[in-house]
Amino acid sequence: MPPESEAVHSGANKTMLGKLLMVAILMFGFGYALVPFYEKICELTGINVLTARERMDPAEARRFAQNTQVDLTRTVSVEFDANSHGPWSFRPKNNVIEVHPGELATVIYEIRNNQDAEVSGQAIPSYAPKQSAVHFKKLECFCFQQQVLKARETREFPVVFVIDPKLPDGIRNITLSYTFFQVGSAQPTL
């Protein structure tokens, strides 16, 4: 191959390498930017309301629960749902409870690890109707952090909540649905 041809190929290779590096950098930047973009879309649409925004400061939660008047003139039916993606059995102990806005309530969820290895999971809540989410105040919830279950372990987790009396009068039913996902494990699911 003549020396001029090698120089042309070498220059073309350097140009192509530069373009490929630029594409890789842009792809990384796009992937990095997707996280806040996804969170904003979820916030605006009410899909998979993220648990970090739901968590109340413990002192604020106590003040809210103590300062809230129970509205005995209204009753709200709260339905509980459980979905799982991973090696779990996941269900609420009660599917429906009736509460008065401002009343402190507790429901228990049962989670069982169905495999012979320890696994970690995270529950993500969602609400229906969407506008009820801001009025559903959780004081304690297993969804606030990842849960680790030993092999074949079954545990019960409480969800302690108050329905804010500012809930619009037209809302008589709320559905709280959790989806439990396996996270941070190299173990294959069975």
- Residue 82's H or E segment, with its range, is strand 76-85
Per-residue pLDDT at 128: 94
For residues 138 and 56, is the Cβ–Cβ distance under 8 A?
yes
Backbone angles phi, psi at 43, to 5 degrees: -65, -45
For residues 115 and 189, is the Cβ–Cβ distance under 8 A?
yes
Nearest-angstrom CA–CA distance, 189 and 70: 45
Per-residue pLDDT at 186: 46
Nearest-angstrom CA–CA distance, 187 and 190: 9
Residue 64 clears pLDDT 70, i.e. is over it: no
For residues 181 and 121, is the Cβ–Cβ distance under 8 A?
yes
Per-residue pLDDT at 35: 67
| CA gyration radius, the chain | 25
Q: Pick the residue with more confidence: 7 or 181? A: 181
3-state secondary structure (DSSP) of residue 138: strand
Strands 76-85 and 96-99: antiparallel
Residue 150 clears pLDDT 80, i.e. is over it: yes
Residue 51 clears pLDDT 50, i.e. is over it: no
Per-residue pLDDT at 29: 78
Per-residue pLDDT at 66: 64
Residue 18 clears pLDDT 60, i.e. is over it: yes
Q: What pLDDT, in 10s, does the model give residues 104-136?
A: 999 999 999 999 999 999 999 999 999 999 999
Per-residue pLDDT at 84: 86
